[in-house]
Amino acid sequence: ADRVALVQALGDLAAMAITRARLLEAERERAAQLAAANAELSRTQELLEQQTTELEVLNEEMQERNAELAARVAELDAVLDQMADGVLIADTLGEFVRVNPAAERIYGRPLVGVAIGRWTELMHIEAPDGQPLWAEDLPLRTALHDERVVEGGEWTAERPDGARIRIAGT
């Protein structure tokens, strides 16, 4: 009976040793997985730090370019404001986004924000021969539609005081 108990105790010890060895192996595998995940996280962190540095450099470059653009816009505004010729700058839809003072003096009214569709109606735009001129026929619309420079456009417009003026434009 003692031998049976001893053999049984030895069997239990062997089973416990096997179980412990399996647990140790599983723990080693888990530790290796954690180490690999930690290494991957470190690589990802390094990559993010590198990208952050690159973004900071790009942001600084963009700020410098924006400052340069702002300076150039200010220069352009100064030149446009001093010109005797009227200059109207339109967006791709044909709406005026910048008009110099000379253009507003010529037409006798503010023009920024006036939709080109209303422009012909508001100022009674006509062809030089007195025929109505529709917004689609204006050099600006033709230039935008055909994506080309239109030179030698002529039309007449009515100022707020009722006087008609003749305009030649490109």
Is the Cβ–Cβ distance between 82 and 102 less than 8 Å?
A: no
pTM: 0.59
pLDDT digits (tens, 9 = 90+) for 108-146: 988 887 777 787 888 888 999 999 888 778 888 888 888
pLDDT one-digit tens code per residue, 7-45? 888 888 888 989 999 999 999 999 999 999 999 999 999
Question: pLDDT tens across 49-85, in order?
Answer: 999 999 999 999 999 999 999 999 999 899 999 999 9
Cβ(94)–Cβ(140) below 8 Å: yes
Q: Could you give the maximum distance between any two Cα atoms of the chain, in Å?
A: 131
pLDDT at position 3:
78
CA distances from 140 to 14, 60, 71, 116, 160 (A): 95, 38, 27, 9, 22
Pairing of strands 164-169, 96-99: unpaired
Q: Which residues of 30-67 are buried (b: 16+ CB within 10 A; e: fewer)?
A: eeeeeeeeeeeeeeeeeeeeeeeeeeeeeeeeeeeeee
DSSP 62: H
